[in-house]
Structure 1
Amino acid sequence: MITTEDTVLLIIDVQGKLASLVFNSAAVEKNIVRLVKACRILGVPIICTEQYPKGLGHTVAPIRELLADEKPMEKTAFSCCADEEVFMHTLRSMKRNDVLVCGIETHICIYQTSVELIEYGYNVHLITDAVSSRTKENREAGIHAIEKAGALLKSSEMAIFELLKVAKGDAFREISAIVKD
């Protein structure tokens, strides 16, 4: 089970025109927004990356606006883990073992990052309704390969309520409203 004390949310490359071209793009974006809002309420740290933003554009507005105080990490390698100096240093400094992975594209950046995180000893929780690729087939191939590498598959709602733990208090009321939206 994931906990707020041992989890980080990783949002990979939800940017530019590509974000609108992926399979089921509106639902993916909506689920990532829900994850960000819930993680903010629960105090779970968030890392956001952008693949070559000069060419591909920046993180889409609905997500970027929620992350206004955090600048996305720029990268050119497909795997976030290739950046030892910034990404891996930041992740290690958080001292958390569970990584909720979401973003695009499932069969490229999500896949390569997830496999390397597993190799580094992290517990990867792939948020299947918050990842996508340009084609449904590539999305499915990526999810299958990531699961085979050792990741746990979860929906955004499953992860949110697993972090929440109990159906009481202000956090529960706020998160219930987010999930119902």
Structure 2
Amino acid sequence: MFTVERACLVVIDVQGKLAQIVDESETVIQNASKLVQAMKALNIPILWLEQIPSLLGGTTLEISQHMDGKPIAKKAFSAFNDEAFKKAVKESGRTQFILTGVENHICVYQTARQLQEQGLEVEVVADAVSSRTKANREIGLAKMQALGILPTSTEMILYELLQTAEHPHFKTILKLVK
């Protein structure tokens, strides 16, 4: 079970025109934004990535407006091949990683795989990831699942983190998902 004390959100490359053209882009952007806002309310660290932002543009406003600090710019498809990301993972002290972003079959998949290879728990938020085609999104999810990286949904992971309606931030999260 993922917990507030062990979890970390990783937001991967939801940026520029690419974020606008992926399958079900509006849903993915809305759910990624909900995840970011919820993690901030729950005081869960967020690692924020952008793939070559000078070429692909910055993170969409719907998400970036809720972020603190600056994203980690990367060139590698797997964020784990970037030293700044490796350092941020280590410094977070977290062992559970929740992934959202694009493209699911490339950057999300490769990052998830390498995080798991480090002995970390990884889940991918199926309704908050996408690729340019539905087929590639589904292939990415299937490959991750074959590795034991389970899918979750925006609501499912948020309620899992809360564990009870008595959680002090329950009403805050409820407003985000309704």
TM range (shorter): over 0.9
1:26 partnered with 2:36 = no
1:166 partnered with 2:157 = no
Equivalent residue, structure 2, for 1:126: 124
Equivalent residue, structure 2, for 1:58: 58
State the shift of 1:119 in Å.
Answer: 0.6
Number of aligned residue pairs: 178
State the shift of 1:70 in Å.
Answer: 1.8
Which of 102, 105, 108 pairs up with 1:104? 102
3-state secondary structure, aligned to 2:169: helix
CA distance in 2, matches of 1:18, 1:83: 21
CA distance in 1, matches of 2:61, 2:49: 14
Q: TM-score, normalised by structure 2?
A: 0.98
Amino-acid identity (%): 43
Equivalent residue, structure 1, for 2:90: 92
1:15 partnered with 2:12 = no
Equivalent residue, structure 1, for 2:150: 152
Describe the superposition over 1:96-140 as per-residue Cα deviations: whole angstroms up to 9, x where unpaired. 110000100000001111111111111111100000000000000
Question: Over aligned residue pairs, what C-alpha RMSD do you find?
Answer: 0.8
Equivalent residue, structure 2, for 1:80: 79
Equivalent residue, structure 1, for 2:174: 176
AA at the equivalent of 1:174: T
State the shift of 1:150 in Å.
Answer: 1.7
State the shift of 1:170 in Å.
Answer: 4.1
Gaps of 5+ in 2: none
CA distance in 2, matches of 1:164, 1:30: 20
3-state secondary structure, aligned to 2:11: strand
State the shift of 1:95 in Å.
Answer: 1.2
3-state secondary structure, aligned to 2:58: coil
Gaps of 5+ in 1: none
AA at the equivalent of 1:18: L
Equivalent residue, structure 2, for 1:49: 49
CA distance in 1, matches of 2:167, 2:48: 29
State the shift of 1:168 in Å.
Answer: 2.3
Describe the superposition over 1:64-110 as per-residue Cα deviations: whole angstroms up to 9, x where unpaired. 0000x2200000000000012x1101111111110000100000001
CA distance in 2, matches of 1:88, 1:16: 24
Spell out structure 1 runs of 4+ moving beyond 4 A: none
State the shift of 1:154 in Å.
Answer: 0.3
Which of 132, 135, 147 pairs up with 1:137? 135
3-state secondary structure, aligned to 1:5: coil
CA distance in 2, matches of 1:106, 1:40: 23
